[in-house]
């Protein structure tokens, strides 16, 4: 991340420092997340994000809200 940010030469040192600190904080708490997308390749990362969103829409609780008729008469 640092190499990419510095290589772009579009952000101030303050912005780079802030983004690196945020990234370090997120990485230190990685076990708290359900999903991790490594953004080395934009197309791959985009496809992974789409998969996460699609999967989250298929969770039982979400589907019960979206399609209550499909769950009528079914006990938890």
Task: State yes or no: pLDDT of 76 exceeds 70.
Answer: no
Please give the DSSP secondary-structure letter assigned to residue 11.
S
Q: How far is CA 25 from each of CA 20, 21, 52, 56, rounded to the nearest angstrom?
A: 9, 6, 22, 25
DSSP collapsed to 3 states, 28-76: HCHHHCCCCCCCCCHHHHHHHHHHHHHHHHCCHHHHHHHCHHHHCCCCC
pLDDT (tens digit per residue) in 2-59: 999 999 999 999 999 999 999 999 999 999 999 999 988 999 999 999 999 999 999 9
Task: Let me know: does 38 contact 23? Beta carbons within 8 Å.
Answer: no
**Token pair 């829409």 is at which residue?**
57
pLDDT of residue 73: 85
On whether the pTM is more than 0.75, the answer is no
């Amino acid at each position: 991340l640092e190499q990419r940010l510095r290589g772009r030469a579009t952000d101030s040192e303050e912005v780079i420092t802030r983004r690196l600190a945020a990234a370090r904080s997120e990485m230190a708490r990685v076990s708290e997340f359900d999903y991790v997308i490594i953004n080395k390749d934009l197309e791959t990362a985009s496809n992974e994000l789409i998969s996460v969103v699609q999967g989250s829409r298929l969770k039982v609780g979400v589907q019960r809200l979206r399609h209550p008729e499909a769950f009528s008469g079914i006990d938890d």
